[in-house]
Amino acid sequence: MRLEANEKGFFGEFGGAYVPEMLYPNVRELQDRYVEITGEAAFQRELNELLRDFAGRPTPLFAGRRLSALFGCEILLKREDLLHTGAHKINNTIGQILLAKRLGKTRIIAETGAGQHGVATATVCALMGMPCVVYMGEVDMQRQALNVGRMRMLGAEVRGVSSGSKTLKDATNEAMRDWIANPHDTHYIIGSVVGPHPFPDMVARFQSVISREIKEQCHVLGGRQPTHVIACVGGGSNAMGGFFHFVEDEKVALIGVEAAGCGISSGRSAATTALGQPGILHGSRTLFMQSEDGQVEEAHSISAGLDYPGIGPQHAHLHTTGRVQYVSVTDDESLEGAKLLARQEGIIPALETAHAVAYLSKMRFSGSERVVVVVSGRGDKDMGTYLERLGEGISR
């Protein structure tokens, strides 16, 4: 199958741009210009230079020998954790700030939950000398104090949001309000393949560098393309990036791993494909967890980056068509996944990534598989949780 947005930004029945009328001009300007601008040779040159010299691309595709021996197949690790700021999110923020500059924007806003996207945004704003306002729920600011500190050190203004549950969705509302009030000079950097068209398509294109490199690197590593690509799914940007250039090649099995939290039927999870219904969330038609009357339900995951009640419209479409298999891993299983990667390969992953790793233990291999796992980020930010939750287990 092909994964292309139609001119209204739909992937099958999912996508589109459901925004208040006051946002039409901003969204329309992006829709009209993102393909043309990002396709320009000068844009691509500047993007690729920054991805190389600032972010640290290409990232290695590392053959995990001990994990391969353990599972009895070939396991390759795509090392997005080695990027500047510690995760794949920088691929997107670099792309969007270059786009914002070419649109003549002079101010950047973003919203953040765990703070990772806020840090990646504050980083590129410092790089480009642009003022940056990051909206963040006050509860999240307390939980993620270190990232608040990083954003401030980078010169960003972190605006605490005290409405509603004081978390990500409230921060998103505030960012939208800001954008409506400042339509001419401000670009809103969305951090995943979510939001109104063109964000899902645009962010997927910026993250697609992940699968472009995987293809090239597999070519060098003996020539065989992967049989499987596995990635965790919050909103779905690292997974979209890892899947992008393989979607049309039906021989490659694509697996998205969601957070089951305390268990799919526990009432405390973020397993959107298992529990979600179609509806409009954050400006696009997609799948999300909702109550009977269509209200967004709170998601839960041990990992702040997967703690999102929806998925992007491409994923909703890939799920509905069956091209990608969506599975889930619980909080406890993800902790085992983190320990596994740390002990077998000397890599402490982010909790989000640990979900993708943990799914390997649920698969059966015959020996001929070549499995790529997208290591979306590093685990420094999660050491507090690892120490607390693994406790004794960490010394064994």
Residues classed as catalytic: 89, 111, 376
The binder of ligand PLP chosen from 172, 238, 284, 301 (CB under 6 A): 238
The binder of ligand PLP chosen from 136, 376, 382, 386 (CB under 6 A): 376
CB 121 within 8 A of CB 189: yes
Which of 44, 195, 25, 211 is closest to 110 using CA atoms?
195
**Residue 350 touching ligand PLP (CB under 6 A):** yes
The pattern of x and - marking residues 137 through 176 that bind ligand PLP according to CB under 6 A reads ----------------------------------------
Residues in contact with 161: Cβ distance below 8 Å, sequence separation at least 6, in sequence order: 135, 136, 137, 138, 170, 171, 173, 174
**Residue 353 touching ligand PLP (CB under 6 A):** yes
Q: Give me the least distance between CB of 216 and ligand PLP, in Å please.
A: 21
CB 249 within 8 A of CB 227: no
Written as one letter, the residue type at 293 is D
**Residue 283 touching ligand PLP (CB under 6 A):** no
The DSSP string of 122-169 is HHHHHHHT--EEEEEEHHHHHHTHHHHHHHHHTT-EEEEE-STTSSHH
The binder of ligand PLP chosen from 68, 85, 116, 186 (CB under 6 A): 116
**Residue 305 touching ligand PLP (CB under 6 A):** yes
Q: Characterise 391 by phi-psi region: left (phi > 0), alpha (psi -120 to 50), beta (else).
A: left
Q: Give me the least distance between CB of 123 and ligand PLP, in Å please.
A: 13
Burial of 390 (0-12, 13-18, 19+ CB in 10 A): middle
Q: Give me the least distance between CB of 192 and ligand PLP, in Å please.
A: 3
**Residue 237 touching ligand PLP (CB under 6 A):** yes
> Which residue has its beta carbon closest to ligand PLP?
377
C-alpha to C-alpha distances, 178 to 31, 173, 269, nearest whole angstrom: 20, 9, 30
Distance, in Å, from the CA atom of 259 to the CA atom of 262, rounded to the nearest integer, reads: 9
**Residue 195 touching ligand PLP (CB under 6 A):** no
Residues in the interface with ligand PLP (CB under 6 A) total 19
In this chain, which stretch among 221-229, 316-324, 339-347, 348-356 interacts with ligand PLP, using CB under 6 A?
A: 348-356
CB 273 within 8 A of CB 311: yes
Q: Give me the least distance between CB of 41 and ligand PLP, in Å please.
A: 28
Residues in contact with 180: Cβ distance below 8 Å, sequence separation at least 6, in sequence order: 20, 22, 23
In this chain, which stretch among 155-163, 179-187, 231-239, 283-291 interacts with ligand PLP, using CB under 6 A?
A: 231-239
Q: Which of residues 63-92 bind ligand PLP (CB under 6 A)?
A: 87, 89
**Residue 234 touching ligand PLP (CB under 6 A):** yes
**Residue 310 touching ligand PLP (CB under 6 A):** no
Of 186 and 376, CB closest to ligand PLP:
376
HEC letters along 273-298: HHHCEEEEECCEEEEECECCCCCECC
CB 309 within 8 A of CB 267: no
Q: Give me the least distance between CB of 63 and ligand PLP, in Å please.
A: 21
The binder of ligand PLP chosen from 115, 198, 235, 337 (CB under 6 A): 235
The binder of ligand PLP chosen from 97, 99, 232, 281 (CB under 6 A): 232
User: Helix, strand or coil for residue 360?
Assistant: helix
Note the residues at the interface with ligand PLP (CB under 6 A). Answer: 87, 89, 116, 192, 232-239, 305-306, 350, 352-353, 376-377
